[in-house]
Amino acid sequence: MKRKIASILIAFYLVLVSFVFAQTHSLSFKDEIYNPGILKPTDSVLKVKVGDKAPNFTLPCLSGKKISLHQFLGGKNVVLSFVPAAWTPVCSDQWPGYNLAKEIFDQYDAILLGISVDNIPTLYAWTRQMGDLWFRVLSDFWPHGQVASEYGILRSDGMAERALFVIDKKGIIRYIDVHNINERPRLEALVKALEELGQ
Amino acid sequence: MKYWPSLALSIFVFFCLWLPSSVGQAKAPAPGKLLPRFEIPPPQRPIDAQYLGVQDKESFWITDIDAQLVIIEIFSMYCPFCQREAPRINELYEKIESDPQLKGKIKIIGVGAGNSPFEVNFFRKKFNVPFPMFPDNDFAIHKTLGEVRTPYFIVVSNLPDHCPTVIYSKLGSIKNMDEFLKHISKKLSSEAQE
């Protein structure tokens, strides 16, 4: 009985504390960001691994064109940056950092594809707040999260994980980071993964 | 022992009331208030240590900085507003350094909220930032300063034998650099008279 009460109290307290700390990381976009609070760090099971051929996909881009992964085969290394949702705190800070770091991607002959399960109009409005992005932003909205699902990073709530995949020019996955959804991946980890492509 | 559940409940209620309020206590420092204390990591570049006058220190605090006024910019490499503001803050630095009345009396530091040393260095190199910038990897300084959005500017009066006092605290771009410098320089001249 005592244990039961204690467990309930602790669980309730942790939920309360999580709510308090959930308010901490919203830095940009004034008051236009929806804060979902602290979420389960990861909520999916990967279906690919390092060394696998990356599943091909074709998705609509903000420009209106369709972009396929295999069009970069033999030409460019590809970084896929899946973010969970537009207008949320960590996601809104992640791509502007990559936007600043174009020279790093150029240095390793890589392109970046930003992918979210949001629809095109939402992604358009959201990314306009980031300024002019040099990389393509793709919508995995319909069929909902199909690409995220094929890679094994579609969460049970319909969002994608915060995940990075580095794919070499032969179409082989060389790096996977399914990150804690509540935190931004460090830039240096991605740089290290790109560095290792040449080794 | 039969009182254990009610005792546990009392402790629980106390903590529920205490922790969120203690976390929420950190607000953006307001003008006229003392700057909450935080530790700043040692500068990575000797030129930065020399600029601040904090050579040979493991970590330091605002009062260790050799200046009457300290401008603190809370930024993030990932914040598009901070990226746009960076060249303007460099201009502010140049204005201060080229004015014999201000040089040495007003100094600028940047604090990268949630940024690693790599990320801060990347930002610094990208924009050729001439003043010292420090990583705040785990948001420790950011939390102490009220978890402000970025870019956020705090100007601190840093008189010897006084606790550092906030004289300016605002979110967002500094609209008019000359007005801003004029405003904070008034504090400099009034301090000279004290």
Reported as a single tens digit per residue, the pLDDT across A105-133 is 999 999 999 999 999 999 999 999 888 99
CB A153 within 8 A of CB A166: no
Three-state SS at B39 = coil
Per-residue pLDDT averaged across B121-146, rounded?
Answer: 96
Q: Is the pLDDT of residue B27 over 80?
A: yes
Of 3.40.47.10, 3.40.30.10, 3.40.50.2300, 3.40.190.10, the CATH number of A2-197 is 3.40.30.10
Q: What is the pLDDT of residue B191?
A: 60
> Is the CB of B145 inside 8 Å of chain A's CB atoms?
no
* Interface with chain B: mutation pick from A26, A27, A88, highest number of B CBs within 10 Å: A27
User: Tens of pLDDT along B136-161?
Assistant: 999 999 999 999 999 999 999 998 88
Among A93-97, A167-171, B114-118, the least confident range = A93-97
Chain A positions in Cβ-Cβ contact with residue B5 (cut-off 8 Å):
1-2, 5
**Cβ-based burial of A122 (10 A; exposed 0-12, middle 13-18, buried ≥19):** middle
Q: Where are the domains of chain B?
A: 29-193
Q: Is the pLDDT of residue A27 over 50?
A: no
Q: Is the pLDDT of residue A5 over 80?
A: no
* Interface with chain B: mutation pick from A1, A81, A100, highest number of B CBs within 10 Å: A100
Q: Is the pLDDT of residue A134 over 80?
A: yes
Q: What is the pLDDT of residue A169?
A: 97
Distance CA A84, CA B33 (A): 40
**Shortest CA gap A52–chain B (Å):** 30
How many CA within 13 A on the CB side of residue A137?
27
What mean pLDDT, rounded, does chain B reach? 87
Given A54, A91, A147, A163, the catalytic residue:
A91
Q: Where are the domains of chain A?
A: 2-197
Does A100 sit within 8 Å of B114, measured CB to CB? no
Q: Is the pLDDT of residue B91 over 50?
A: yes
CA distances from A97 to A1, A74, A103, B54 (A): 51, 27, 12, 30
Q: What is the ipTM of this complex?
A: 0.81
Q: What is the pLDDT of residue B194?
A: 55
Q: What is the pLDDT of residue A198?
A: 80
Report the top-level CATH class of B29-193: alpha beta
Per-residue pLDDT averaged across B8-30, rounded?
Answer: 53
Q: What is the pLDDT of residue B56?
A: 81
Does B116 sit within 8 Å of A188, measured CB to CB? yes
Percentage of residues in chain A with pLDDT exceeding 70? 83
Q: What is the pLDDT of residue B161?
A: 80
